[in-house]
Structure 1
Amino acid sequence: MDAQTLKQQIAEAHQKSQGDEGYWLGMTAFRYGFPLLEMHRSLWEWHVDTSAPTHLGAINEIHHTPRRAEPKDTYFVTPIVDAPYSRTFVDLSAGAVILSVPPVTDRYFTVQLLDMYTNSFGYVGTRLGDTVGGDYLLTGPGWRGTVPEGITRVLTAPTPTLCLLARVTILDDDVAAAVALQKQIALRPADPATPKPDPTTNPPALNWREKDGDPLDFYRALADCLSASPPPAADAGVLGLLARIGVAPHRPFDPEALHPAALDGLRRAIADGLHDLYADMPFAGPSRNGWVMVDVDTIGDWGTDYFSRLEIAQIGLLANSAKEAYYIGAILDGDGNPLSGEHRYEIRFGPDDFPPVDAFWSVTMYLNPQGFLVENPIGRYHLGSLTKDLVYGADGSLTLYLQRENPGPGKEANWLPTTEAGVLFRLILRQYLPTADILTGRYAPPAVVRVDG
């Protein structure tokens, strides 16, 4: 082998290694960073971009939706229908904020607090005995102020900005009663002199999702978001890997510093990451009776389980911790076939088969993979323990009918309309305040059974 050939082979091997390493590190960045970017994108759309269909208004003010979720609501995927939402992002960089909640004694309610890495770090609500109403102090990392008088509890966010999501359940279809309580959940600065926060100081994390956008914008946005939302110490290992491609807090991403083959690998990683996320990953994991179970020890408190955090960010960005609510999903029937609108299905809960919960349970229908509610002629998107007028069997059993057409007299009350023929759907079984039987895996719901042959 002459020297020129050897030199060429070495150059080709180097280029391949650069491309392979760029791809691997790019996939690592995508799996780690996607949930963080989705949180910052949501903040921007809720509080900055007035043209966004999901725009709410001012940051640090709770925005109440005075109705159940509907198919037109796309502010996040797999919305709950059992309760109207109240939501906002809260910027704590200028000072602490007081959360006020009313007495809620006749129904389940929760105020969920998430950091920008989608960890549910704090709650106020029924589970914690917060039924008499009160004030709660929300503080950012490193806060050293004085706790005002009358504060029930201090909740410290791991990141300077948090997301607040409140749910007050609807009983007996009385939406107005739930809304009246919902509107009493409010925020105010602990110090009235605190200046109003400017949400435009948060990175938008938008460009990389545009149809004709540059995939490298993902890495630019990730570096910006890491600066705005400092990562936890436990992430030091993965941050060391990301630094090898120039993604780090307080350092703009510079593609000019990387080998062209590495940049090609980074671009391929974003394309493949998105494909895997929307085509292959939803509801990956062990299943029982066709329902995919998630890890009760990590959901909502992710630690370094970045893969699970990524998966849940796609199917339910603002997931609760399992002790508050345990969600499981189905995209397949009990025989392993995709759920689709041209077929008829049943879910039969025997007298002893109902989810063992201390609050409520419900089954909700969504488009698959989009995760939005399914439009249907009767405006019904879920059924569950809070649903009025369900028809139970003489033995106490309950059969839910999942199909596009009305199942007929005697069954309509238990009918959950599906998608059109050929359109896939998914189901989410919500189990609020799950008991030990659920959290330890002793309970599994009945399968979704196809009944049209």
Structure 2
Amino acid sequence: MASQHSRHRSVRADKGTGGKYLFTPPGWKGTVPKGYLHVPSLSYRLNMMLRSVKRGSATDVDAEAYSHRLRIYPLAQAGSPPPTRFVDGFPKAWDSLPHYDMRFYEYIEDLVIVEPVRARDKVMMGMLDSFGIAPGKKFEPTARYTEILEQSVVDARAFLEAFFEDWGCAMSKYYPDRQWGLPRYRPEAPPGIQLRDEHDVVLRRPRRWHVLRRDVFA
């Protein structure tokens, strides 16, 4: 298994042979049992993506069967792990797109009240606190705040589309009569991808600062 540990590097601690991984939350002070590979997490929520690669004459059925050998259980149940339930997500509808309404701020609140605050987060936490999102604090904006915040995400969507999706500003057409394009983050810049050599691709990025005035909420 390849994992992202606390230094955000991809590691293969099991040398490709598989193993038992112990994922622990921030501040965990317990003892790692013998035989486990410890992966300390910076957050209380984890997402993992696993891929079963077919080898030789293996089939898709073989690959699926192999993936079902995975076991996930609390450390307290390591002595007698319960069966792992596998859910086929293919036929299900998943809401994975961002919502440009008040749910945007509710998602942020959900993260803020659960996850630990690190030193690098403090500037952003100060900004969030200015309109009512803070650890241990219920996000209950007034009608006026709600009106402003709802308009802000609508404006943010328009900004993102203009600078990252629209032809001529965000994208330059690779073929004039087709929908293939290259990133073009600044209209005055040449097409956004520059090739330094065959292994190095550089994307131009916008260099803009945006300031949120505190008095707008007065």
Smaller-chain TM-score range?
A: 0.5 to 0.7
Q: Kindly report the root-mean-square deviation, in angstroms, between the aligned alpha carbons of the 2 structures.
A: 4.3
**Distance in 2 between the 1:170 and 1:275 partners?**
43
**Distance in 2 between the 1:441 and 1:177 partners?**
40
Please identify runs of 4+ aligned residues in structure 1 that moved more than 6 A. none
Counterparts of 1:231-380 in structure 2 under 5 Å?
231-256=117-142, 260=144, 263-277=146-160, 280-281=163-164, 332-333=173-174, 338-339=179-180
Is 1:443 matched with 2:207? no
The Cα shift of 1:147 comes to 0.9
Q: Which residue of 2 aligns with 1:192?
A: 77
Query: Could you tell me the TM-score, scaled by structure 2's length?
Result: 0.59
**Distance in 2 between the 1:159 and 1:190 partners?**
17
**Distance in 2 between the 1:240 and 1:234 partners?**
12
- Structure 2, unaligned stretches of length 5 or more? 83-94, 182-194, 202-218
SS at the partner of 1:164? coil
Is 1:156 matched with 2:40? yes
The Cα shift of 1:155 comes to 0.5
Alpha-carbon displacement from aligned partner over 1:251-306 (angstroms, at most 9, x marks no partner): 112322x8x3x5433221111223444564269xxxxxx9xxxxxxxxxxxxxxxx
Identical aligned pairs, as a percentage?
Answer: 22
Check conservation: 1:226, 1:249, Cα contact below 8 A: yes
**Distance in 1 between the 2:113 and 2:72 partners?**
26
Counterparts of 1:367-406 in structure 2 under 5 Å?
none
* Structure 1 letter corresponding to 2:153: I
* Structure 2 letter corresponding to 1:269: S
Higher RCO by CA contacts (8 Å cutoff, separation 6 or greater) = 1
**Distance in 2 between the 1:168 and 1:273 partners?**
39
* Structure 2 letter corresponding to 1:144: K
Query: Between Structure 1 and Structure 2, which shows a larger proportion of strand residues?
Result: 1
**Distance in 2 between the 1:124 and 1:177 partners?**
26
Question: Relative to 1, partners in 2 of residues 1:178 and 1:246: Cα closer, same or farther, differing over 3 Å?
Answer: same
The Cα shift of 1:334 comes to 5.8
Query: Could you tell me the TM-score, scaled by structure 1's length?
Result: 0.31
Is 1:138 matched with 2:23? yes
**Distance in 2 between the 1:443 and 1:124 partners?**
22
The Cα shift of 1:161 comes to 1.5
* Structure 1 letter corresponding to 2:109: A
* Structure 2 letter corresponding to 1:228: V
Q: Which residue of 1 aligns with 2:206?
A: none
* Structure 2 letter corresponding to 1:185: L
- Structure 1, unaligned stretches of length 5 or more? 1-109, 197-204, 284-289, 291-330, 341-437, 446-453
